[in-house]
Amino acid sequence: MIKLINDWYTRHFSDPQVAILAFLLLLGFAVIYFAGQILTPLFAAVIIAYLLDGAVLFMQRFKIPRFIAMMTTFSLFILFLLVVLFILAPLMFKQTTQFMLEIPGMLSQGQGAIMLLPEKYPNIISQELVVEILNNIKANLTSLSQKFVSLSLSSVVDVFSFMVYLVVVPLLVFFFLKDKSMILSWFRSFLPRDRALVATVWREVNDKITGYVRGKFMEILMIWVISYITFLIFGLNYALLLSFAVGMSVLIPYVGAVVVTLPVAIVAYFQWGYTYETVYVLTAYGIIQFLDGNLLVPLLFSEMVNLHPAAIIMSVLVFGGLWGIWGVFFAIPLATLVHSVMNSWPRIARTD
């Protein structure tokens, strides 16, 4: 057994470059896992700067000096942040509050409809089953309301931290964009000169992650706007809140669209009942999801991420469980990183 372990270690880690790559991967995982909550503002700033740097590089292609391109991009980012904070966030909070206040009325109306089911379908649904369903619904709503209250109280406590983040994160983004070359040179100074494997894996992963993250951001924004306009045209209640949920649902491939269908269908039903308006809204929603999966995603991502659907779902579950919403957002890039390392590792090891 010891000989097998020793042979495996010699075969895979005898190359110093492989050992360097393994050390960097373990170090990065440990820092994110153990210090992720403390370093959240730093990680957020790095991600935002990473996204904005694409716009800076795009403007530089037209011979615009980097400083001017950086200042223009950063100013647009601050403008977008102000719009979100002072226009979109209050509207979202208002619609969320209205929705929570209407839940008791929806529950009463739904209870009346459910109580009629045993009369219409006595051979399929019994009165005892209906009572059990209603009790489960009430218990789940009670638990949900308690979680909402506790979340509200904790958010009040975290207001000060949020205000600090609003100042710290934009400052970090500015300096990351301004001193990009200097920061990257500083990091490279800690790496050994012989780092061909690390460079190879990083180039492959960086190309895919860059396109994926920026493409995913564009997909969220486009689906959000298209859904909002569609819901407004049909006059659906809570259009901004529901369209935001539809936009964010693209973070979880395959599963997100199915989950968000439920609130859209519930709001449409309680607003119009079994009418053509409900059918029209759900049909339009289905068309949006179809165009997203069959037109927008191939257009934005092409062959950028060549992973099996089962691998994508598993990566969402694993990384989402480890790092929450950030893990969900970066599940596919992280899975791509694992895939690239697995492809490069044996190939380099066999060159000895």
Encode the chain (352 residues) as per-residue pLDDT tens digits: 666 666 655 665 556 666 677 777 788 778 777 776 777 788 888 888 888 888 898 899 998 999 999 999 999 999 999 998 888 888 888 888 888 777 777 777 776 667 776 777 777 777 777 777 777 776 766 666 656 555 554 555 566 677 778 888 899 999 999 998 898 888 878 777 766 767 777 777 777 777 777 778 888 899 999 999 999 999 999 999 999 999 988 877 667 788 888 889 989 988 888 888 999 999 999 999 888 877 777 776 655 556 666 777 777 778 777 777 667 766 777 777 777 677 666 554 444 4
φ, ψ (nearest 5 deg) of residue 18: -65, -40
DSSP assignment string, 7-53:
HHHHHHHSSHHHHHHHHHHHHHHHHHHHHTTTTHHHHHHHHHHHHHH
- Count of the separate structural domains present in the chain: 1
- Whether residue 320 is contained in a domain is answered as yes
Whole-model pTM: value is: 0.72
- Whether residue 43 is contained in a domain is answered as no
- Whether residue 234 is contained in a domain is answered as yes
Per the CB < 8 A criterion, the answer to whether 223 and 217 are in contact is no
Domain, as residue range, for 231: 195-352
312, containing H or E segment: helix 309-329
Tokens of 54: 């694409």
- Whether residue 238 is contained in a domain is answered as yes
pLDDT value of position 349: 45
- Whether residue 85 is contained in a domain is answered as no
Angle formed at CA 319 by CA 316 and CA 325, multiple of 5 degrees: 80
Q: Which position has the token pair 């992963």?
A: 205
- Whether residue 149 is contained in a domain is answered as no
